[in-house]
Amino acid sequence: MMRQYELVDRVRRYNPQADEVSLNRAYVYAMKAHGAQKRASGDPYFSHPLEVAAILTDMKLDDSTIVAAVLHDTIEDTDSTREEIDKLFGSDIGRLVDGLTKLKRLDLVSKRAEQAENFRKLLLAVAEDVRVLLVKLADRLHNMRTLYFVAPEKRARIAEETLDIYAPLAGRMGMQTLRDELEDLAFRHLMPDAYAMIAARLADLRQKNGKIIATIEKELTAELAARGIDARVEGRQKQPYSVWRKMERKSIAFEQLSDIFGFRVVVENVEDCYRVIGVVHTKWAVVPGRFKDYISTPKQNDYQSVHTTVVGPGRQRAELQVRTALMHDIARNGIAAHALYKDGRIAGKESLTSESRSYQWLRRTVALLAEGDTPEEFLEHTKLELFHDQVFCFTPNGRLIALPRGATPVDFAYAVHTDVGNSAVGAKINGRHAPLLSELQNGDEVEIACAEGQTPPAVWEGLVMTGKARSAIRRATRDAVRAQYATLGRQIVTRAFERAGKAFTEDKLKSALPRLARATIEEALAAVGRGEMFSGDVVRAVYPEFMEERKASVPRPRGEAGWFGMKKATSLVFKFPGGGESDQSLIPIQSSHGDLPVRFAPNGGAVPGDRIVGILTPGEGITIYPIQSPDLTAFDEEPERWLDVRWDIEESRHELFPARICVTAINEPGTLGTIATVIGDHAANIDNIVIKPLSADFREMTIDIEVNDLKHLNTIVSHLRARPVVSKVERVNG
């Protein structure tokens, strides 16, 4: 276990002005607080926070972070309190320890809702102070290093959690060294056989190619020195988990991997990076398509390097990463390499930016929390961005947009601005028109065409790649549905007030909102439109003295199929297109694609010209039935769900409506073709056909068709009856 003076010495190596008093006080306080507590390994529990602090000293972090690491379990696991920590170490450290305490009992692979809610808490705490994340990742790393002492079932859960959340999050923050070790440790525990196999193959390959690696290092160092370039060349090998993941992703064997070995070249400045590339490309053959410049276009986690792959000595492929020392520090430690901390700038890091791109990404991600997503949706969206490599695309004016691999112009549009995504109707990729769901490639220039009043299709949600796009599409879809229900609710409420002989105004409804348990007028109207609240309740909330008078039962008229019961509570008024007196108290029905949430009866539909009635179904809107439909008997005991509706179809509007017919026809070749031809010749559409044998000579065909109106339907029925192969034709209503 690390001693008190050793902790202070570790910090003083990179920060001579370290606050020794605070470090010593934290050491003594935590040791006393944890007392005789033991870990699963049998070691004193106090050894764990010390090891976490040691990991953070390797990242050269500030005094406050180191002190918080030493104290991070005190509030959770001992009798210490936040007030006591604040008093002894200051409110800044107290806040860090408190933030870590709230995250102590994360269980990210338990029930989905708990997993999601805990992840929200994690990122919210991190967004307030990134040092919470650094301590949390170091805490997880030490726990993974000692995972062998944990029970097997719990061990698997922690390893899966690490691979699922913590390692990708470390990578997204640019902390590649920490990510590699987390992945390696988790891989060992989750898939020990696969890990052992790949590790053995890598060891054999390293022994076999050791001389080649040394030769390339020596030759390249000498070549660069001869050109006056001061460089450090290091050979490296892929990690077992990285190898396994690539084998799985590309479905290839170990022998087919071409980039297991690579070299890192660290130089003094950016100019030397490109000079190194010139030397390398002159000396060895370049593998086409393998050059990537992450200096001019850094990754979202601040990673910068120039990558190239060459065919070196012995025909061995080798990837080279060329970067400056500063870039190398950021590539290894990511956000921990940035001077973000409350204690001020750290020696040797004055040239780093004040806030990294990775932290900016984190803040944008957390901003989604305020946009109405559920915890489950937020976790899903964030995972999408954690696990994908990136492509870099450009707007027409040259703005760089970084997106996950597999992203589409829809993702691009939402990355530019939510309003652009919501109104997107088309795209040009590199000047050519392309589908909005095309996959984007590195370097594509994307131009988005927009239209006012456009609502993104709900199906886009499952086709886009970014969490921001999915969140915005889901939110826009919800808003559109809510607006539909609010529109329907407004019409229902307005007509309810008219029937009651009362005046309806929004001001009066607003004053009644507390009695309706709704926060806004739109919420109240949408609740009526969804069927969650009845219009009579709204009238009584505005006019408490109002007593609704039920009208006498009105029989439903006879239809072709006979008598279908009675509507027992409220009267119906019917409006026929092109005839009869207009009744503005009826809700106008235009189609199933308008501003109202409308659908048609599932067994036979309804067409303009039919006498119709609307049935309000909670959460689904209005279902339109022909008055002769026998299905209406199911609602005779629910008068509050019946709505007075009328057709409101413009003559110039050509839209098809659903109907169902039953055709009895002779069973002979060509019969189905004859029937389909009649329907097609009359510009109707066949949506579905079910054929049932009646006898050896006859077949019954139930055909769902789409027609303009009742006249159109009757014409088709008449022409079908005139065909010799047709015995009988009837319209079906339920």
Distance of CA 637 to the CA centre of its chain: 43
3-state secondary structure of 632: helix
Three-state DSSP state, 654: coil
3-state secondary structure of 565: coil
CA dihedral (133, 139, 142, 148) positive or negative: negative
Q: Is 350 in the active site? A: no
Q: How far apart are CA 61 and CA 65, in angstroms?
A: 6
Check: CB of residue 330 under 8 Å from CB of residue 357.
Answer: no
Bridge-based pairing of strands 306-311 and 292-293 is antiparallel
Q: How far apart are CA 235 and CA 260, in angstroms?
A: 11
- Integer Cα distance of 40 and 18 in angstroms: 33
Q: What is the DSSP letter of 347?
A: T
User: Token match 């055709």: residue?
Assistant: 663
| Residues 491 and 535: beta-carbon distance below 8 Å | no
CA 722 to chain CA mean position, Å: 56
Q: SS3 for 723?
A: coil
51's tokens: 């090891």
CA dihedral 109, 110, 115, 121 (to 10 degrees): -100
Q: Is 77 a catalytic residue?
A: yes
Instruction: Give a three-class secondary structure readout of 228-264.
Output: CCCCEEEEEECCHHHHHHHHHHHCCCHHHCCCCEEEE
| Catalytic residue (one of 20, 43, 58, 76) | 76
Three-class SS state of 651 = coil
Nearest to 662 by CA among 609, 724, 601, 721: 721
SS (H, E, C) 525-571: HHHHHCCCCCHHHHHHHHCCCCCCCCCCCEECCCECCECCCEECCCC
Q: From the candidates 77, 84, 223, 548, which is the catalytic residue?
A: 77
Q: Give dist(CA 70, CA 51) in Å, integer.
A: 9
366: part of which helix (H) or strand (E)?
helix 357-367
| DSSP letter, residue 166 | I
d(CA 705, CA 683): 11
CA distance 411 to 390: 12
First-residue to last-residue Cα distance in the chain: 79
| 523/510 Cα distance (integer angstroms) | 11
How far from 630 is each of 217, 564, 604, 722, 732, CA to CA, in Å? 85, 6, 11, 28, 10
Residue 63 to residue 27: CA distance in whole angstroms: 13
Residues 6 or more apart from 110 whose CB is under 8 A from it?
A: none
Residues annotated as part of the active site: 76-77
